[in-house]
Structure 1
Amino acid sequence: MFKNIVFGLALVLVIACGSKPRVSIGEGELELRPSAQHEVIASEVANLLENYSYKKVPMTDSLSNIVFDNLLKSMDAGRNYLLQSDVDEFQEFRNHISQDFRKGDLTAPFHMFNVYSKRYMQCMEYALSQVDAEHDFSIDEKYVAYREKLPYLTSEQELNEQWRKRVKYDLLNLRLTSTDKDSVDVEKHKETLRKRYKNLISQAKQTNSNDAFQLIMTALTDAVDPHTTYYNPSFAQAFNENMSNTFEGIGARLMMENEMVTIKEIIAGGPAFKDKSLQVDDRIVGVAQGEGEFEDIIGWRLDAAVAKIKGPKNTVVRLKIIPAGQELTAQPKIVALKREKIVIEEESAQKEIKQVKGEDGKTYKIGLIKLPKFYIDFDAYRRRDPDYKSTTRDVRLILDTLRQEKVDAVVLDLRSNGGGSLQEAIELTGLFIDKGPVVQVRDVRNRVQVDNDEEPGVAWDGPFGVMINRFSASASEIFAGAIQDYGRGVVFGSQSYGKGTVQSAIDMSRFISATNKLLLKAKGEDKDPDTPNGAPEFGQINITMGKFYRVNGSSTQHKGVMPDIIFPSQYSAEKFGESSEPSALPWDQIKPSNFAKVTDLGETIKALTTKHESRMKKSPEYQFLLEDIEEFGKADTIQEISLKQEELQKEREKNKMKNRARVNKALELRGLPLWKEGEPQPKTEFDFILDETLNVMADYIAVAKP
């Protein structure tokens, strides 16, 4: 979860870096080979993991077993491509694959990836051939889409049968979900499916050795620690942009459609938004830097095209555009845009004011701040830019506004906030406490450093609440834990993720020796030609170098933060969170730091809990929430899908009626009009946990009022 990277200008890419594959392509097969640079990086990463990381994990047989299993799962988690014979053949690598990393020998993992790629192409080609085959939708057949809990298929015949059923399911699904008057337009559905599989084949043929290397290195780092990650140059740049909540470019989100780079969103405030020359679904067919020559980018990989379109602020990029809805034969229009720094506002702190009627009959104003992550523009901060973007600066401004609005309390919503900058977690805590320790960090040498809020005064001293859930992690847990330990506010929700480790982002060029750099340069492999401007040329490793501890001495690792007011969660600790990660570090404890509580909220929380539980006993919405959680738990089974049209249609109608009943029950509980047949589904994303949190905050305000 915490390794996902959101590209500023592009959508998330599963594996990406560079546009020129080191690959021979013949008859649809790929044969990828590691570069000399890959071998050097692999060796240095293994050295770092063994000698410098917090865990110092040796490259042994036992680690090799985990790396091997990770690699198999990352390639074919659903067991829809590889055969049992392939997996049996791979077994010779099981006990030495991690030792090979130390030597820079990537032969085994690249061989495994090549076999997988061959099987993938084979499956796609067979699926394409089955689009025009005869499919009988009246016979009783079952299809399992995700086979993780089932054995690998044992023969090509079984593999072909699995993909025959997949194509049959895809056609049946198009038939049953068609909104056209004639839902049995077989040729139209076949053409849709042909395009889908041809697109997948086209994307697969663009796979390169950097893609394989990224997948392989992730299998290694995941075996050591779930939060240690090697990022290739493109991913490293994207990670750093994501951390800053900014990027430099034209302000558009792109995706690949039919080998064409297509605009899918114009970001408000960016150059494309201001210029108004670009529209959603416009296709970019050529890119030129300033007054330079245009490069045709049809058929390019998305990441390579994005690297050409993005660039330093105040530079000009020219785009050759086929407007949305026009044929490719249309005359392209030329659009020139000056790149700017784009702020990703939807991932920044946002405020809202809620009116809540308390049990005392009074109406209170509560300021709600939603914070998706802890962000800071490190580059601008290091340059001493007075307008650098950061979480604390944004929240401070919001608190100023809320004070002017005369709110009675503030709630900070950190649900599903996966963390981010440690510095920001410390400084944000400082907005609510008047100086003091915030977090303790133990490093690889067992030295403990106490990180303090040094700034006197607070930005908000009134009633305060913090919301967390199972996916609140890292910096979120540091903040929530500090607020709880100081008695500065009430924490609401469910047990947090339990990520209590510290990562340092290190440019890998620091660990590549001068000799190796010269050797790589002599081979012409010192830098990939498609490394984005400003990206680290050897990539970046985010490596675990320490553990977090609360000021009370307890680690947040595994246990996370337990709220004061607890709500039930559908996400169990056994399946979600740090405790579900086999390579995670254990929980432990150190001495508390020297801190003084703001107040002791023990009795207050007891009183609030009593009122909260009393409301829950009488709340039909609370019972509705418990029912949803129970239904979620039932979903973790092998799902067999009927390929008999009549049966699948009945099953879907049954589910449709069940969904309608659930929606109407939710609407009824809110006193809203029911959803009638033929009407679009109404919004039912009611946030009961937020509503009840605000009710408890109203109780808190009443108690806190002098």
Structure 2
Amino acid sequence: MHRRLPLFTFLIFSPLLAQEMDSFFEELYPLEIHSDISSRIVRITEGLHYERVDIDNSLSSEILDRYLDNLDGSRYYFLSSDVSSFSRFRFEIDNLSRNGDTSPAFEIFNLYQARVDDRIDYALSLLENEIDFSTDESFVFDRDNSNWPRNIIESNELWRKRVKNDALNLTLIGETWDEIRETLSARYERIRNGAHDVTEAEIFELYINSMMRSVDPHSTYFTPRNSEEYRIQMSLSYQGIGATLQLNEDMVTISDITPGGPAFRSGLLFTQDRIIGVSQSIDDDPVDVIGWELDDVVQLIRGPRGTDVTLHILRAGSLQGAAPDVITITRDEIKLEEQAAKSSILEINNLDSVIKIGVITVPSFYQDFDARSEGDDDYTSTTRDVARLVGELQLESIDGLVIDLRNNGGGHLSEATSLTGLFIDEGPIVQIKERRGPANVLGDPSRGAIYSGPLAVLVNRYSASASEIFAGAIQDYGRGIVVGQQTYGKGTVQNMFNLDQFSRDDDYGQLTLTIGKYYRITGESTQHRGVLPDITLPSAIDSSVIGESSSTAALPWDQIPGTRFRKSQDLTNVISVLRQNHNLRMLSDPDLVYFQSNVDASINNQSLSEITLNREERQDDRDGQDQDRLNRFNHWRSINGYEQVASVDLITPDTIPDFNLNETGKILADFISATDNNFRVSLGDTP
């Protein structure tokens, strides 16, 4: 399981006696303000969290496990005896935190730093002599469920294979042994420096967030420094590539692509891609960023507007040790207008006719709140833009409409309700329930629909929050069909608490706390389960890693009484027919057969946890995967009458159609035929 980690690098270990630590570094201890912050966070959480949380012995045990998992998720660092020694804190963290005592966090981290120093020294010693890659052995790279080494012998063997794997990866991209030694020495020293550059505030933040993330995945504490960083990101005023990064072990991973940003517009970078190198031009040698602190990688990627940054990427779902892709993105500001909804038209051949399907892509649920507050009648919003685009598409005589919410992580709740209102006459849209009292029902803010024709909503695992409210309402009303993958399942409401109000002189930071849940008009929660599509499309997104259900601390799905509403129609029978037609195409349509083969290959690669350390075998594996990928691509091109390509380097995002969007168009075309024009496309007033 991948974890969202704090803004510092996590490292290595070995058996070093605790009393020896002073010879390497100065131990860290809690600051005076940490006591007050800790106790206040406990009180606020227990008093205001939606789930009526008790921070007790049971949660204390989870907090310890999560803190150790954040530090040592792959079990490289501590010995099993270290972890056993921490058991004295297992049922004490709750009381200690309530009383403002966060000393366990620092005691554990101080030992962690000692382990880092010793393991880095050992890793560097392995680089003194050139490594032999001819032996037949393997390395388990996915160690999330592994045990901590029992002794120094097991630790050394684990690290011998890790260093060998790092060196082999560099060998396969053509580095000499001297270059490998230089690259890895610098990488490992950065790991050491990362452990020593950590501040008391960062340790405290990690520890408190181990507590908050044991409560639920969206309750978070921000130090004053990270509160400001969060504010900057939310204002979208910084210049970069428009991607959110997180640290998974020692690799920087793309956790989110900002709609309208440079990465989004380029179409070259995707969620779960891993950045292993950065350069300021494609002709420069890349800086190896494996093992870097997250802050440092961010600073390396950011730069003046209009300049290029080149990233060396390991693609999500690629084979471990695969050759990286090299992409160049131009830095730019992220502006509201670049996040705006956009339209296009799909033409679907259906027997002797062509069915025109309008497509509106909605990257986020946005609203220019400042302009609206100032009384600007022409303020920008998702609903206004979509209404305008629907009108333009109707002038093109479309036969049906797809609302594409893939990768839409949400936004303004009011936009979700008003957007839904464009497609229903009137009625409730979502229920919100807080800790106390009955659910509050939010309805369509304006009577009448601007579009009453055939409708499909396209979603994927990254469609979350406001996207799920819209998709769920369209599904519940029977107003349209939902196509794609099970959505994220983010059905909770958060509130930001400024902790500075409790201090005259010190900056305490901010606390984001879950205070409510969203419920569909049927009474079902979108939390954890998300929205289940009427027709499921292929996807390589691993739901055990992505989505609310991937977190053990996620609030559960539940149900409250539904609210009264009138369905537009019952689509049960027609959906059954559409599903049958789709399943037949999955077996016979060359596009879908090719797409499914790519999905299967990606899923297979993601399931692997072990890799050979034999150079010839590793090269054969890499070449074999490249050849399989090329063969699949050329077979698909041949069937469609396209010229074949000679290299996998020529398989780029712009050479592959959007298969899921095209299939959604075909499903909607089937829907139009099956309903025999019972829908009437109508114009209405634009809000």
Q: Which residue of the partner structure matches residue 185 of structure 2?
A: 194
Match of 1:45 among 41, 57, 74: 41
SS at match of 2:148: coil
Superposed CA RMSD: 4.0
Is 1:2–1:227's contact at 8 Å kept on the other side of the alignment?
no
The equivalent position to 2:170 in structure 1, one of 174, 199, 202, is 174
Structure 2 letter corresponding to 1:563 = P
Q: Deviations along 1:655-677, whole A, 9 cap, x unmatched?
A: 33333333334434544333325
Cα distance change, pair 127–305 in 1 and its aligned pair in 2 (3 A): closer
Contact 1:81 1:120 in 2 (8 A): yes
Where in structure 2 are there 5+ consecutive unaligned residues? 11-20, 246-257, 263-278, 282-291, 311-331, 681-687
Counterpart position of 2:658 = 687
- Distance 1:97-1:565 versus aligned 2 partners, 3 A rule: same
Task: Describe the shift of the 1:412–1:92 C-alpha distance in structure 2 as closer, same or farther (beyond 3 A).
Answer: same
Q: How does 1:338-417 map to 2 (within 5 A)?
A: 342-343=334-335, 348-376=339-367, 390-417=381-408
Q: How does 1:6-25 map to 2 (within 5 A)?
A: 13=7
2:629–2:648 contact (8 Å) kept in structure 1: no
Residues in 2 aligned to 1:480 and 1:620: alpha-carbon distance in whole angstroms: 29
The 8 Å contact of residues 356 and 698 in structure 1, kept in 2 or not, is answered as no
1:355/1:366 contact within 8 Å kept: yes
1:236 aligns with 2:236: no
1:230 Cα offset (Å): 2.0
Give the match's secondary structure for 2:236.
Answer: strand
Q: Which amino acid aligns with 1:215?
A: L
Matches within 5 A, 1:660-671: 660-671=630-641
C-alpha distance in 2 between matches for 1:387 and 1:229: 36
Partner of 1:332: none
Partner of 2:436: 445
Does 2:236 correspond to 1:247?
yes
Report the residue type matching 2:489 in the other structure.
G
Q: TM-score, normalised by structure 2?
A: 0.77
CA distance in structure 2 between the aligned counterparts of 1:4 and 1:241, rounded to whole angstroms = 19
TM-aligned CA deviation for residue 444 of structure 1: 0.4
1:281 maps to a residue whose letter is Q
| Displacement after TM superposition at 1:381 (Å) | 5.3
Q: Which amino acid aligns with 2:616?
A: E
Deviations 1:159-199, CA, capped at 9 Å, x for gaps: 33333332222222212122xxxx6x322333333333344
Superposed CA deviations along residues 369-406 of structure 1, whole A, max 9, x for unmatched, are 23333344556655656676543344344334434444
For structure 1, the residue ranges without an aligned partner over 5 or more in a row are 6-11, 17-24, 256-264, 269-279, 283-299, 311-317, 326-339, 528-537
Distance across 2 between alignment mates of 1:162 and 1:469: 38
Tell me which amino acid in the other structure corresponds to 2:335: V
- Superposition pairs of residues 84-123 of structure 1, within 5 angstroms: 84-123=80-119
Which whole-Å deviations, capped at 9, do the CAs of 1:341-370 have from their partners, x for residues lacking one? 851666x24424233223243223323223
State yes or no: 1:155 paired with 2:154.
no
8 A Cα contact 1:230 1:542, kept in partner: yes
Aligned partner of 1:653 in structure 2 is 623
Q: TM-score, normalised by structure 1?
A: 0.75
Checking the alignment, whether the CA contact within 8 Å between 2:341 and 2:363 is kept in structure 1 is no
372-381 vs 97-106, which moves further: 372-381
1:305–1:158: structure 2 CA closer, same or farther, 3 Å change rule? Answer: closer
The aligned residue for residue 70 of structure 2 is 74
- Counterpart AA for 2:62: I
Q: CA deviation at 1:135?
A: 1.6
| 1:112-151 to 2 correspondences below 5 Å | 112-151=108-147
Q: 1:550 pairs with 504, 517, 520, which one?
A: 520
CA offsets 1:110-156 (integer angstroms, 9 cap, x no match): 22223223323433343334333332222333322332222111233
* Bigger mean CA deviation after superposition, 208-217 or 362-371: 362-371
- Determine if contact 1:149/1:638 at 8 Å carries over to the other structure: no
The C-alpha deviation readout for 1:684-705, integer Å capped at 9, x for no partner, is: 6443222111111223344336
Deviation string 1:588-625 (CA, Å, 9 cap, x unpaired) is 32222232333443444344334334433433444445
Residue deviations 1:302-333, cap 9 Å, x none? 859999x99xxxxxxx99xx9999xxxxxxxx
CA distance in 2, matches of 1:477, 1:620: 31
**How far apart, CA to CA, are the structure 1 residues paired with 2:583 and 2:154?**
55
Count of residue pairs brought into register by the alignment: 604
Q: Aligned equivalents of 2:591 and 2:296: distance in 1? A: 49
Q: Which moved more, 1:363-372 or 1:690-699?
A: 363-372
Out of 115-124 and 619-628, give the one that drifted further: 619-628
User: What one-letter code is carried by the residue in structure 2 that aligns with 1:695?
Assistant: K
For residues 347 and 3 of structure 2, the distance between their equivalents in structure 1, rounded to whole angstroms, comes to: 38
- Cα–Cα, structure 1 residues 678 and 90, in superposed 2: closer, same or farther, change >3 Å? closer
Of stretches 501-510 and 438-447 in structure 1, the one that deviates more from structure 2 is 501-510
CA positional deviation for 1:86 = 1.6
Alignment of 1:254-653 (within 5 A): 281=280, 342-343=334-335, 348-376=339-367, 390-510=381-501, 512=502, 517-518=503-504, 521=505, 526-527=506-507, 538-570=508-540, 577-635=547-605, 639-653=609-623
**Residues 97 and 109, structure 1, Cα contact 8 Å, conserved in 2:** no
Report what 1:259 is aligned to.
Answer: none
Question: 1:498, 1:113 → 2: CA distance?
Answer: 34
Return the letter of the residue paired with 1:653. D
CA distance in 2, matches of 1:15, 1:378: 37
Other-structure match for 1:672 = 642
CA distance in 2, matches of 1:385, 1:541: 33
Helix, strand or coil for the counterpart of 2:429? strand
**Residue in 2 aligned with 1:258?**
none
Q: 1:700 aligned to 2:676? A: no
Q: Which amino acid counterpart does residue 662 of structure 1 have in structure 2?
A: R
Contact 1:480 1:561 in 2 (8 A): yes
Distance 1:648 1:190, change over 3 A: same
Does the C-alpha gap of structure 1 residues 422 and 677 become closer, same or farther in structure 2, counting only changes over 3 Å? Answer: closer
**SS of corresponding position for 2:110:** helix
Shift of 1:490: 1.5
Q: Is the 8 A contact 2:594 2:633 kept in 1?
A: no
C-alpha distance in 1 between matches for 2:561 and 2:648: 63
Q: Aligned AA for 1:248?
A: S
Q: In 1, Cα distance between the equivalents of 2:448 and 2:308? A: 55
Q: Distance in 2 between matches of 1:451 and 1:631?
A: 44
Structure 1 contact 90–112 (Cα < 8 Å) conserved: yes
**CA 1:672–1:577: 2 relative to 1, 3 Å:** same
Output the CA distance in 1 between the equivalents of 2:384 and 2:2: 24
Aligned mates of 1:301, 1:585 — CA distance in 2: 31
For the residue of structure 2 that corresponds to 1:31, the secondary structure is coil
Q: CA deviation at 1:80?
A: 1.4
With over 3 angstroms needed to count, the CA separation of the structure-2 counterparts of 1:382 and 1:126, relative to structure 1, is: farther
Q: Give the alignment partner of residue 197 of structure 2, picking from 187, 190, 206.
A: 206
Partner of 2:17: none
CA–CA distance in 1 between the matches of 2:132 and 2:430? Answer: 64
Specify the code of the residue in structure 2 equivalent to 1:60.
Answer: D
Distance 1:30 1:622, change over 3 A: farther
Percent identity (aligned): 38
Structure 1 counterpart of 2:326:
none
Residue pair 1:503, 1:545 contacting (<8 A) in 2 also: yes
SS in 2 for 1:365: strand
